[in-house]
Amino acid sequence: MQSFRYLALGDSYTIGEQVQVTHNFPYLFISKLRKYTIQSGKQISFAAPEIVAKTGWTTDELSAGMDNWIFDGSGYDMVSLLIGVNNQYRGRGVEEYEKQFSVLLQRAVDFARGINGNVYVLSVPDWGITPFAHDRNKEEIALQIDEFNRCAQSITQNRGCHFIDITTEQRKFGNQEAYLAPDGLHPSGKEYNKWADKLFEEVMRRF
């Protein structure tokens, strides 16, 4: 039976801060793939996602975390990357982000056995629309998030990897209680399920 191994790189959005581990987007995504293959009769097994992420990580901190992680030497069938919100939150510039994101994307490609098409980048969500940011300049946050995402999208697509916009939909519903974790900042499983759907739709082209 063919096996499928998935590596998810990121920060709190990849972990699923304040939600059950099975409700973060990497686990929900794998669950959707498993359901599809059972229904279609395809002979593919899916390991649980391997997640290298930590709440608060910036691009350079993710890179350092990867340096200390023991990865499977055989590589992965797919790698996702979602990083940058903490760069923006800490007031770090897009120029620095561009350089560090480029390095991370190349590392993701390397883990995907050098296949650019097996790497999927998710856009940075806009935390400025959440209740947590009620006393912040939401317009400025949105403009900066957009700048980070334009940078990530350009680098990703120029390298032949996939870029998935989750920010547009998140801005529509991400301030509603049902789509928020108890801290009023991070997404709930309901929001993560939407991200998993988008990732699933993009990846389904491979099956």
DSSP code of residue 12 = H
- Reduced to 3 states (helix: H, G, I; strand: E, B; else coil), residue 77 is coil
pLDDT at position 40 is: 85
Structural domain count, the chain: 1
Phi-psi group of 41: left, alpha or beta (phi > 0 → left; psi -120 to 50 → alpha; rest → beta): left
Distance between CA 62 and CA 58 in Å, rounded?
6
Q: Which of 39, 158, 146 is nearest to 105 (CA)?
A: 158
Task: Give the tokens for residue 138.
Answer: 């939401």
Per-residue pLDDT of the chain (207 residues; tens, 9 = 90+): 678 999 999 999 999 999 999 999 999 999 999 999 888 888 889 999 999 999 999 999 999 999 999 998 899 999 999 999 999 999 999 999 999 999 999 999 999 999 999 999 999 999 999 999 999 999 999 999 999 999 999 999 999 999 999 999 999 999 999 999 999 999 999 999 999 999 999 999 876
- Per 3-state DSSP, the chain is made up of helix, strand and coil in percentages (nearest 5) of 55, 15, 30
The pLDDT value given to residue 207: 66
Residues 76, 113 contacting (CB under 8 angstroms): yes
In 3D, which of 106, 111, 98, 97 has the Cα closest to residue 58?
97
Residue 87's nearest CA partner among 9, 154, 144, 162 is: 144
CATH number of the domain to which 183 belongs: 3.40.50.1110
pLDDT digits (tens, 9 = 90+) for 153-184: 999 999 999 999 999 999 999 999 999 999 99
Q: What is the pLDDT of residues 138-147, one digit of tens each?
A: 999 999 999 9
Q: 81: domain range?
A: 2-206
Structure tokens at 201: 């739709």
In 3D space, the residue among 124, 137, 121, 120 whose CA is nearest the CA of residue 174 turns out to be: 124
